[in-house]
Amino acid sequence: MTQQRQYFGTDGIRGTVGTHPITPEFVLKLGWAIGCVLANQARKNNTVLIGKDTRISGYMFESALEAGLSAAGMDIRLLGPMPTPAIAYLTRTFHAQAGIVISASHNAFQDNGIKLFSSMGTKLPDDVELSIETQLNLPMNTVSPAKLGKAQRVDDAPGRYIEFCKSTIPFDINLKGLKVVVDCAHGATYHIAPNVFSELGAQVVQIGTEPNGVNINRKCGSTYLSALQTQVLSHQADLGIAFDGDGDRVLMVDAQGEVVDGDELLFIIAEARHKTGQLQGTVVGTAMSNLGLELALKKHAIPFARANVGDRHVLEMLQKFDSTLGGESSGHIICLDRTTTGDGIVTALQVLAISMQTELPLHDLKSGMHKCPQRMINITIEGDSTQIMESPILQQAVQDAEQQLGDQGRLLLRPSGTEPLIRVMVEANDAQQVETTVHALADVVKSIAN
């Protein structure tokens, strides 16, 4: 029987700042617990990296983690504001025992969270997270003064990561002649992404690059593409690139102002690698991936599999199939032949490289995939999502809807792993049927929740 997690969710620990467990007191002890567990692994390098996004609470939690880790005898390297995938990469290059990210990704500034990477730059194994939770229940103590950990800032972290990103596309490719609008969501990519694209030769128009601690993800970035669409059209750019607050997701906008989502980006990369014989194994999507992705890959005889929602599950299935490419509709794409985790900048570079190699604009690259009409409604709930999901009334409504859709569509209901939401998604060839079905199911969820 799997041990029940108390704090760690599908993507670390996340919540509202000031509300348990996202408090300085808890994060202090969390740093200590992480340090104790890592110290017991008896590695030669007792160093942990800490990076963060740009939200104002990051200062507070950075200090708390630093104190807790030091109390456990771990040395700390402070990276400052850096994208989540940069912390994964730097954890490997520093041969550190772990990397810690202070971020709530695409959430508003009021939230924050802690997620961890192993020494290999992958998500921390379940057994290590459970050991940390067990340690949290013990009284906190401090190593002897002579054994306290030391902290050091890494001033060249941005430059190291910029060079790595540039190395993920062939050396003979440059982006000269390309005009791109880059929206960094006032988040962790603000001082990284524009430099990557401009150093490769692109003309870059920047938006969302003036973080003030509270504007992260606010009407910008991959969760709000209107600003990017407007700028692409007004600047007559070739395309637009939007990251989320911590830089592990990317969505794009073509020259016509049309959104290119994660499913389409995944198709573009998969098709190009298949044509050149570089695609390994099965392409992995999720239960939320558009049916059009599956059908488009099928036309090219490219195997496709669906994992549960969440990059952790995508990664697990990639490893299971010994594959290298997978992702989510949200723009969280994993290219295991380039790096160990979802990376927005690296993903964008793969797409731009394909565009330059084929001399095809983004609009044409995505044309091989035709998305089925899909609609998702997020319903905010209070209380236990499990009770709502197990309601006989809801289960009957789902059964009826599935019968009506038949082979021409599919539906999915699931609780969010990071927010108090139940997501209702319906997909079918008939757009009107999609709208009717999704609203009917959403109404049932609302009536039960209220």
What are the residue numbers of the active site?
105
Tokens of 161: 């990561």
Gap between the terminal Cα atoms of the chain: 33
150: left (phi over 0), alpha (psi -120 to 50) or beta: beta
Tokens of 4: 């029940």
Q: What are phi and psi of 252, to 5 degrees?
A: -130, 165
Asked if residues 78 and 42 have their Cβ atoms less than 8 Å apart, the reply is: no
Residue 168 CB neighbours (<10 A): 18
Residue carrying structure tokens 């617990």: 33
Four-residue CA torsion sign, 193, 196, 199, 202: negative
Q: How far apart are CA 75 and CA 328, in angstroms?
A: 35
**Please, what's the b/e burial string for 350-372 (b: 16 or more CB within 10 A of its CB; e: otherwise)?**
bbbbbbbeeeebbeebbeebebb
What 3-state DSSP class applies to 233?
helix
Residue carrying structure tokens 């006989």: 392
Spacing of C-alpha 45 from chain mean position: 28
Kindly give the interhelix angle for 262-275 and 344-358, rounded to the nearest 10 degrees: 50
Q: How far apart are CA 167 and CA 169, in angstroms?
A: 6
Residue carrying structure tokens 């539906």: 411
Asked if residues 63 and 50 have their Cβ atoms less than 8 Å apart, the reply is: no
Asked if residues 165 and 338 have their Cβ atoms less than 8 Å apart, the reply is: no
Asked if residues 322 and 305 have their Cβ atoms less than 8 Å apart, the reply is: no
Please work out, in degrees rounded to the nearest 5, the angle formed at the alpha carbon of residue 356 by the alpha carbons of 352 and 359.
125
Asked if residues 405 and 411 have their Cβ atoms less than 8 Å apart, the reply is: yes
Strand partners, 240: 181, 253
Asked if residues 228 and 235 have their Cβ atoms less than 8 Å apart, the reply is: no
